[in-house]
Structure 1
């Protein structure tokens, strides 16, 4: 009997242990399942992606470009000399797209470019109003008119040649190398450029398209043909990427909202309807949009920033076209019910577990959207005020004049973690739109953009986090919008110039116009959408005379 009782006790203990272990495993599974439903609120999806294969590549491109001018500057006041010494002014070519190719007969890379003159002429013949001028770097020492003319005649180069005597224009623009090619639009604005070797006819054509059709033309064509699915959803990546936790076919509410905003800015109603219809059809199992749609369907969690952006786009669409009044009222009610807590904005709501977030990412405080919400219902005024106080108090300091990433509402403390600079730039953009951007911050941005650049992630002391010393399309697109909101045209132009170094200029390539790598890697929906949005905002009024 004693033996039997001992056996029973052992069995009971074993059963209890099994139950405990099983309960633990079930709890872990539930936590894991819940965690998978939560959005990774880092902008651009589940991971910050390296936009360039190495920072050196971007630095090399920038080092060769002229340093006394930048994109969107008015160059119509440039003058050259003709064969007989007559003055040739670009202002006399207004209305034409003009290609300036700075060259010299002794330059082997210039020769390589000009040897392709037949291919270049054939491509330019497709346009009705484009003219190419060869600008000879005439120093009367290493290069003379006789040497230039002899080379052109011997090689039967058909393009008009003019002279930059005394290197006046060369120095005025801050050119550093030849060959350098500048493409100037019909208004006299510098729209695209390339310095150094490897100027292929496909690259030149893509640059001319940029000037003729506008900066957004090829980028939107790429996005529309290659990344927007048949239902109107924008895929997260062009190709599967190992660094991403998302499948490349997943669709984010972030991208949909950005595209809706772009459609409103460009008054493209069909694009707006296509993008919003995807949200309605595929993301609205619950009152607010799922932060992601995968092959398993929509997530049960929303992202407040994305829904505020969607609401703001709808609000402005109602002003433009009408027909969205009921939808925006429903959005106001849902945002207040699920994305606020004790008159504070919060990050998200989990519809599966009926749980509100207990914190606020500072970049989620879209003040412009909250102003619109307050017009619909005054209860948003207090939320706006509280959100602004949280953001302002999150200022790190004048040495590194940006903001902490997140605020824990219950604990009334800031998470003093590393700053994802895409998120940091969104915080600054929201402040700039309401006139609350600090002058110290604007000055820091100008110094960084004109200097070594802005990297992906920083510590709170302003040092770059190891492994994150790379630059991104989205950061410079956002800086362009910040600058436009702050009225700083020069910063907007320089930010766009840095952004353009990450764009694919290759008319013979399937990814022409995309931001990423020519082989199709590193192309993410967030960057394409931010670039388009930046074109529609920062590109509206960024002209500046040299």
Structure 2
């Protein structure tokens, strides 16, 4: 599952002028027709029904979705157990659009705002037991929620939600994407912003769309795409550095969390910028069932555990590359983690049966991937 939040509060900070609640809103005029995936490569109705049923009945609450089915003690630096993440809510909102559950989408978005909204951004984490939001957002999670709004607007031809999406993006820019420089988070309490820029956070399709409103904004997008592309580690290990530091002007040499690395690849694939050598590498890892959790930047395996969410992400990447065969193969691998024992409390989940562990990241990406 995603681990970027573990270090979120420990990243360097820089003072900014603060978020603007009266941000100027410009509605993009470019076509948004590619916001909804239309490949229809998968037909997983039976498996999807079990997974949907598990998430809906065992993970979903009025306020959000549990981070893990299994309740654990909360920790300071990482969301666990029954804490709620805006990441999960954004993925669920996307899934509701894909499955045409528009009434549920409207109701859940309303509750998402009640749980996470901080005015100009969404808190990345909410502790329901303490009724406490984290002071910081996670820019990717905001962009995912904004994307879901645009998806809904497109699917239903609803101008109100189109305006809501554009308004949320305009507000987000001040703290998290000032002058086009995307950062990991903005702290509403300290009024400071991270100087770190995780490449996985560049939701390029969403950025391209909402930054199409002026020549200046279009330049911002081009710079963002270039920054991600320059993080390429090389053909020998064709992935991308985990992050870029605005303060040092350099890319990180830290080990790669594979799920995050694949989110970077997914975003590139959505704008037609994924490299064939990257797809070749990914195909080999999937075929050999060796899509490990952590690699060094030279490609050495650091952690041989594997994540169901990584396979879901890989499947989506193959679908975007129009590789139906590899999409279906990767989904077959992903579904192997589905719990089929009807006596298990996590029956239907993508999880670890004997530990009763089922993480929202894996299960929600599994649901979204199944709709490709």
TM-score when normalising by structure 1:
0.58
Pick from 92, 112, 124 the counterpart of residue 279 of structure 1: 112
Structure 1 residues 378 and 220 mapped into 2: Cα distance closer, same or farther (>3 Å)? Answer: farther
**Aligned ranges for residues 155-304 of structure 1 at < 5 Å?**
213-229=45-61, 231-241=62-72, 245-294=78-127, 295-304=130-139
What is the aligned-residue RMSD (CA, Å)? Answer: 2.2
Paired residue secondary structure (1:456): strand
Structure 1 residues 450 and 214 mapped into 2: Cα distance closer, same or farther (>3 Å)? Answer: same
Pick from 269, 283, 296 the counterpart of residue 432 of structure 1: 269
Pick from 404, 407, 414 the counterpart of residue 241 of structure 2: 404
The answer as to 2:359 corresponding to 1:524 is: yes
The answer as to 2:304 corresponding to 1:343 is: no
Structure 1 residues 376 and 272 mapped into 2: Cα distance closer, same or farther (>3 Å)? Answer: farther
**Aligned ranges for residues 5-20 of structure 1 at < 5 Å?**
none
Q: Check the 8 A contact 1:238/1:520 in 2, yes or no.
A: no
Paired residue secondary structure (1:215): helix
Q: Check the 8 A contact 1:365/1:427 in 2, yes or no.
A: yes
CA distance in structure 2 between the partners assigned to 1:492 and 1:510 by the alignment = 29
CA distance in structure 1 between the partners assigned to 2:163 and 2:282 by the alignment = 40
> 1:446 corresponds to which residue?
283
CA distance in structure 2 between the partners assigned to 1:435 and 1:190 by the alignment = 21
Q: Check the 8 A contact 2:258/2:293 in 1, yes or no.
A: yes
Structure 1 residues 500 and 270 mapped into 2: Cα distance closer, same or farther (>3 Å)? Answer: same
CA distance in structure 2 between the partners assigned to 1:242 and 1:379 by the alignment = 47
TM-score when normalising by structure 2:
0.84
Paired residue secondary structure (2:330): helix
> Which ranges of 4 or more aligned residues in structure 1 deviate by more than 6 Å?
none
Q: Which of the two has higher C-alpha Rg?
A: 1
CA distance in structure 2 between the partners assigned to 1:414 and 1:375 by the alignment = 27
* Offset of residue 377 of structure 1: 5.5
Q: Check the 8 A contact 1:473/1:499 in 2, yes or no.
A: yes
Pick from 36, 39, 42 the counterpart of residue 3 of structure 2: 42
Q: Check the 8 A contact 2:63/2:115 in 1, yes or no.
A: no
CA distance in structure 1 between the partners assigned to 2:46 and 2:213 by the alignment = 37
CA distance in structure 2 between the partners assigned to 1:388 and 1:263 by the alignment = 29
* Offset of residue 518 of structure 1: 2.1
**Aligned ranges for residues 475-486 of structure 1 at < 5 Å?**
475-486=310-321
> 1:419 corresponds to which residue?
256
* Offset of residue 483 of structure 1: 0.2
> 2:22 corresponds to which residue?
none
Q: Check the 8 A contact 2:42/2:371 in 1, yes or no.
A: no
> 1:544 corresponds to which residue?
none
* Offset of residue 496 of structure 1: 1.0
Stretches of structure 1 lacking an aligned partner (at least 5 in a row)? 1-39, 48-188, 192-209, 538-546
Structure 1 residues 304 and 424 mapped into 2: Cα distance closer, same or farther (>3 Å)? Answer: same
The answer as to 2:145 corresponding to 1:310 is: yes
> 1:77 corresponds to which residue?
none
CA distance in structure 1 between the partners assigned to 2:93 and 2:135 by the alignment = 22
CA deviation string 1:173-209 (max 9, x = no partner): xxxxxxxxxxxxxxxx998xxxxxxxxxxxxxxxxxx
Q: Check the 8 A contact 2:257/2:295 in 1, yes or no.
A: yes
Stretches of structure 2 lacking an aligned partner (at least 5 in a row)? 8-40
Higher RCO (CA 8 Å, separation ≥ 6 residues): 2
Q: Check the 8 A contact 2:143/2:169 in 1, yes or no.
A: no
- Equivalent pairs counted in the alignment come to 333
CA deviation string 1:336-385 (max 9, x = no partner): 21112343111111110111111210000111101221245554322211
CA deviation string 1:15-41 (max 9, x = no partner): xxxxxxxxxxxxxxxxxxxxxxxxx98
Paired residue secondary structure (1:216): helix
CA distance in structure 2 between the partners assigned to 1:362 and 1:517 by the alignment = 29
CA distance in structure 2 between the partners assigned to 1:357 and 1:325 by the alignment = 29
* Offset of residue 407 of structure 1: 0.2
CA distance in structure 2 between the partners assigned to 1:513 and 1:278 by the alignment = 26
CA distance in structure 2 between the partners assigned to 1:310 and 1:378 by the alignment = 25
* Offset of residue 325 of structure 1: 3.2
> 1:515 corresponds to which residue?
350
